[in-house]
Amino acid sequence: MEELSKNYDPASIEQAMLDKWLAGDYYKRSKGVGDCTVTIPPPNVTGKLHMGHAMDDTIQDTFVRFMRMRGRSTRWILGTDHAGIATQTKVDKKLAAEGISRREIGREKFIDACWDWTHEYGGHIVEQVKRMGCSVDFSDPHFTMDDDYAKAVRKTFVDWYHDDLIYRGKRIVNWCPHCRTAISDDEAEYKEEDGHLWHLRYPLTEPVDGQEYIVVATTRPETMLGDTGVAVSPKDHDKDKFVGKTVKLPIVDREIPIFSDFYVDADFGSGFVKVTPAHDPNDFAMGERNGLEKINIFDETAHVVEGYGEFSGMSREECREAVVAWFEEHGLLDHVEDHHHSVMHCYRCPSALEPWLSEQWFVAVDRLKGPATEAVTSGKVKFHPERWTQSYLTWMENLKDWCISRQLWWGHRIPVFYCDECGWMDASMEDVHACPHCGAATRQDEDVLDTWFSSQLWTFATQGWPDKPELMEGHHPTAALVTARDIIALWVARMIMASTYFLDEIPFHDVVIYATILAKDGTRMSKSKGNGVNPMDLIEKYGADAMRFNLLTLVTNNQDVRFDANLDKETKELIDSPRTEAARSFVNKVWNASRFVLSNLEGFMPGEPRVTGPADAWIFSRLAQLSERVTAGIEAYQFGEVARELHGFFWNEFCDWYIEFTKSALQQEGEARLQTQRNLVYVLDNALRLLHPAMPFVTEAIWEKLPHGDEAPALMMAAWPEPETLACWKNEEAERSIDLVCGIVSAVRSVRARYGISPKQALDVAVKAASEQDAVLVDEQRALIEGLARTASLSVAADLDKPAESAATLVSGCEVYCVLSGLVDFAAERDRLVKEHEKLQKESVKVEKKLSNPGYLAKAKPEIVEKDKAKHAELVAKIDLVVAQIAELG
């Protein structure tokens, strides 16, 4: 038999396996019974792999490989998103470095520059996904700006426009003055900031009960230039006398009304709320209800427009200082309070967003919400974990019309055409150059569509819609969508709305929401913070299998997980990741155990597995249980549990125990050795299949050298060990029997380690069984126990008394006694332990006192506090162990 190399080298072996898979076209759409089509959430075309991508893609690949091995018709669709703002920003910076701007070169040449950029940088993330071992169909890539996809986007807009689901209107939007485009509500990022609450005096046009002014409270005094009203709460009856009166707005000398509105919180500030309908969505709503004028005081760069004297041309920040100074100078600044509040920021640049009255295109969502809500409440679409269902439904219930226009050049241009001569306008699938009414030249809308508008079509526009809907047959709805919770509203909900409208069916059956991966300190990973971990660095240091397996262990029902990587403080490069290191150790364990099996297959001849003793019955039963749990776990998207089950079986049951059980038989000749070889190969083969979706590289490399007798050209194409097929091996009695053996042997080994007794020193061992039945089970495995535990004598009975001077351990209801007479100086050992106990107690009290000090907890860095907590827990565990040993010695 061809043996494995002594050491597992991820770099060379993973590349060799990747080349094998790609050369064999194993990633392409497979045929089978039942469908498993998955669309990869399209990363930005010019992006790079980050830990969120790595988690997402690892989960998807595990699921897809599992389904492929189960004989499903499997298709994993690859694609990238044109990323409107992100790509335009990058190209703008590139042009700026060359001393030019997009406005200088014009729209057409700028779009050419964007295409050049995507062609130059667009393949990076795809290559990284490939290096991870993701078995996505790389031969069939999709891009949201491809001609066929663009046609689908255009049809969506035109159909919705003609169905009165898309309209143009002047409404408040979140405006980025740096990117100079609208941003949707769901894309805005909120940042906590320390600010102020300015209390400003607005003079009453006529005194009310001798009062000459009212006081309004605001966090944005600069917007008072656009005030067109002052609101009070209808519940605040002390202010009823002011309703219907007017104030003279300072600086601009505008007379504005005081009115009541249910939106106002009587307890906020002074109870008088300045209303600026053009610069606040809630003020806009109040303005609509109360017929207020909407005055936009800022231009697209957030500078004050003409008509405001000395304030015109000022930025928001300059205007704020100037307005406050003016109020103070004129005796109208009542007082100022510190105020901590959330401020919306652009997700693509550091600018604070400006609520801005602007003419934009919107999707009217009311008619789309019903079917999209029913798709989830009916159970047609299920969220995993289930708690995200309510997040989806709550968002859907409160959904407002969606602003879909962006003031960019890169993207899907809005297909609406205008005639300035006669006023005609319409949306069209084809470009319109001449007005169909008057024949004059037309112009196309300048804006492009929000990238989420195009990506909402992802599950079906990548599969032939609208021109070749037959390509979707049997592949839509797709099986599952794996994504982050951040885009349940941005993407998941919109995909369901689009699919139910155009196809009258859901886009996917399951939505799998994975935990957000945070930095080690619990904050979000980001480039600006320098705390992001590059998955490619993890792959280079530990191998793709180790990174993937570690990520799967982090899949829990909790929404956030911390990644334990340590980064260099200056270079921000990866130093280490203990959990990924542990995963690499597991990869090496699998490799070395497989290497042992392959090195002991001389004279092997294929044959059926067969139970030759309780150890075989036990491992076959454990394999059947593993198949059942792993299969059910992947089907339920419980990948963390799956990873733990696989690790426990391979590391503990197969490597640490079953291989040990087989060593004596492998030293024999004839049938006993041959059947042991067959059993080893059978267990290893099936275990590798179960492990393959999670760790594809190492399992494939081992499997191709294993005499498995399978016709499949690669492990990834081999059959899955179905629970029904392996169920015949289940044997509860064998499991109980060998579990007792393993527990007893471990107990004896633990006593040796605890007291420093050499493994070569035989021990007298007695086992007090929990029952007569257990006594029989243990006695039947006497030979295994004596060999593995190296006993001088072994007594087994249900009514044994504890031997003198012995250490006791409880194992599955049985008491295991190791006689220590003559091997341990009980008095000296007891004295040593008492001193050790006193030392540990002092250390524990010291750390506990530190952790109970509020001042220390407030000032110390979180990671230092966590380190101290871990130290205290370790000390407590050591104390408990020492106390147990002292009690053991009497």
CA separation for the pair 431, 443 (Å, rounded): 10
Nearest to 579 by CA among 538, 524, 616, 614: 538
DSSP for residue 348: S
| Owner of token pair 């995963």 | 583
CA separation for the pair 166, 403 (Å, rounded): 10
Residue pLDDT, tens place only, 578-616: 999 999 999 999 999 999 999 999 999 999 999 999 999
Say what the pLDDT of residue 100 is: 93
Which of 779, 796, 824 corresponds to the end of one domain?
A: 824
SS3 359: strand
Say what the pLDDT of residue 890 is: 65
SS3 469: helix
Q: Which two tokens stand for residue 849?
A: 């006192």
Say what the pLDDT of residue 186 is: 64
Q: Is the peptide bond before 436 cis (omega within 30 degrees of 0)?
A: no
Is residue 466 one of the residues assigned to a domain? no
Q: Is the peptide bond before 385 cis (omega within 30 degrees of 0)?
A: yes
Whether residue 837 is found in the same domain as residue 792:
no
Whether residue 237 is found in the same domain as residue 265:
yes
Report residue 681's pLDDT band, with 50, 70 and 90 as the boundaries: very high
Residue pLDDT, tens place only, 333-365: 999 988 877 777 877 777 888 888 889 999 999
Whether residue 252 is found in the same domain as residue 212:
yes
CA separation for the pair 203, 247 (Å, rounded): 6
Residue pLDDT, tens place only, 443-452: 999 999 999 9
CA separation for the pair 798, 776 (Å, rounded): 9
Is the alpha carbon torsion for 109, 111, 116, 117 positive or negative?
A: positive
Whether residue 744 is found in the same domain as residue 788:
yes
Whether residue 747 is found in the same domain as residue 884:
no
Q: Which two tokens stand for residue 365?
A: 């969502």
CA separation for the pair 635, 631 (Å, rounded): 6
- Mean pLDDT, residues 292-315: 93
CA separation for the pair 552, 645 (Å, rounded): 12
Range in 179-183, 281-285, 800-804, 824-828 with the lowest mean pLDDT: 824-828
Q: The domain that contains 227 carries what CATH number?
A: 3.90.740.10
Q: Torsion angle, CA of 142/145/151/152, rounded to 10 degrees?
A: 60
CA separation for the pair 471, 479 (Å, rounded): 16
Whether residue 239 is found in the same domain as residue 304:
yes
Say what the pLDDT of residue 523 is: 86
The packing angle between helices 696-703 and 544-553, to 10°, is 130
Is residue 254 one of the residues assigned to a domain? yes
- Mean pLDDT, residues 254-278: 91
Nearest to 447 by CA among 706, 869, 85, 189: 85
Residue pLDDT, tens place only, 749-776: 989 988 889 999 999 999 999 899 999 9
Q: What residues contact residue 115 under an 8 Å CB cut-off, 6+ apart?
A: none
End-to-end alpha carbon distance in the chain: 55
Say what the pLDDT of residue 268 is: 79
Whether residue 328 is found in the same domain as residue 216:
yes
Whether residue 269 is found in the same domain as residue 290:
yes
SS3 357: strand
Which of 824, 841, 869 corresponds to the end of one domain?
A: 824
> Mean pLDDT, the chain, as a whole number?
92
Say what the pLDDT of residue 448 is: 96
Is residue 223 one of the residues assigned to a domain? yes
Report residue 266's pLDDT band, with 50, 70 and 90 as the boundaries: confident
Contact 716, 759 (CB under 8 A): no
> Looking at the predicted structure, is the pLDDT value of residue 64 above 90?
yes
CA separation for the pair 39, 46 (Å, rounded): 19
Percent of the chain with pLDDT over 90: 73
Beta strand pairing call for 791-797 and 508-514: unpaired
CA separation for the pair 79, 592 (Å, rounded): 38
Report residue 1's pLDDT band, with 50, 70 and 90 as the boundaries: low
296 burial level (CB within 10 Å; 0-12, 13-18, 19+) = middle
CA separation for the pair 58, 497 (Å, rounded): 27
Is residue 848 one of the residues assigned to a domain? yes
Report which residue type is found at 400: K
Q: Is the peptide bond before 477 cis (omega within 30 degrees of 0)?
A: yes
Contact 498, 459 (CB under 8 A): no
CA separation for the pair 461, 452 (Å, rounded): 13
Q: The domain that contains 839 carries what CATH number?
A: 1.10.287
CA separation for the pair 795, 801 (Å, rounded): 11
> Looking at the predicted structure, is the pLDDT value of residue 701 above 80?
yes
Helix (H) or strand (E) holding 367: helix 366-377
Give the Å distances, CA to CA, from 868 to 339, 653, 720.
35, 35, 46
The packing angle between helices 782-789 and 732-755, to 10°, is 30
Contact 343, 271 (CB under 8 A): no
Residue pLDDT, tens place only, 658-676: 999 999 999 998 999 999 9
Structural domain span for residue 800: 735-824
The packing angle between helices 659-666 and 578-599, to 10°, is 20
Is residue 161 one of the residues assigned to a domain? no
Say what the pLDDT of residue 156 is: 98
Q: Torsion angle, CA of 379/382/386/389, rounded to 10 degrees?
A: -80
Most confident of 5-9, 174-178, 268-272: 5-9
Say what the pLDDT of residue 32 is: 86
Report which residue type is found at 343: V
Whether residue 323 is found in the same domain as residue 196:
yes
Contact 565, 577 (CB under 8 A): yes
Is the alpha carbon torsion for 10, 16, 17, 21 positive or negative?
A: positive
Percent of the chain with pLDDT over 70: 99
- Mean pLDDT, residues 718-733: 96
Residue pLDDT, tens place only, 363-372: 999 999 999 9
Q: Which two tokens stand for residue 442?
A: 């037309």
Which of 287, 321, 345 corresponds to the end of one domain?
A: 345
Report which residue type is found at 41: P
DSSP for residue 720: P
Beta strand pairing call for 273-275 and 382-384: unpaired
Contact 791, 748 (CB under 8 A): yes
Helix, strand and coil content of the chain, in percent to the nearest 5, comes to: 45, 20, 35
Contact 197, 336 (CB under 8 A): yes
Is residue 764 one of the residues assigned to a domain? yes
Whether residue 336 is found in the same domain as residue 233:
yes
SS3 296: coil
Q: Is the peptide bond before 257 cis (omega within 30 degrees of 0)?
A: no
Q: Which two tokens stand for residue 103?
A: 């406005």
Is residue 601 one of the residues assigned to a domain? no
Top pLDDT among 171 and 830 is at 171
Is residue 481 one of the residues assigned to a domain? no
Helix (H) or strand (E) holding 617: helix 614-635
Give the Å distances, CA to CA, from 742 to 322, 656, 788, 850.
79, 10, 9, 42
SS3 598: helix
CA separation for the pair 446, 432 (Å, rounded): 14
Strands (E), 219-365: 229-232, 246-249, 254-260, 273-275, 333-345, 354-363
Nearest to 290 by CA among 302, 298, 282: 282
Whether residue 287 is found in the same domain as residue 264:
yes
Give the total number of structural domains in the chain. 3
Residue 527 marked ligand-binding: yes
Beta strand pairing call for 229-232 and 273-275: antiparallel
Say what the pLDDT of residue 718 is: 96
Q: What residues contact residue 700 under an 8 Å CB cut-off, 6+ apart?
A: 17, 20, 21, 692, 714, 715, 716
DSSP string, 402-448: EE-EES-SSS-B--EEE-TTT--EEE-SS---B-TTT--B-EE-S-E
Contact 203, 212 (CB under 8 A): yes
CA separation for the pair 280, 294 (Å, rounded): 11
Give the Å distances, CA to CA, from 122 to 43, 47, 56, 111, 435.
10, 7, 19, 15, 39
Whether residue 809 is found in the same domain as residue 841:
no
- Compute how many other C-beta atoms are within 10 angstroms of the C-beta atom of residue 885: 18
Residue pLDDT, tens place only, 617-672: 999 999 999 999 999 999 999 999 999 999 999 999 999 999 999 999 999 989 99
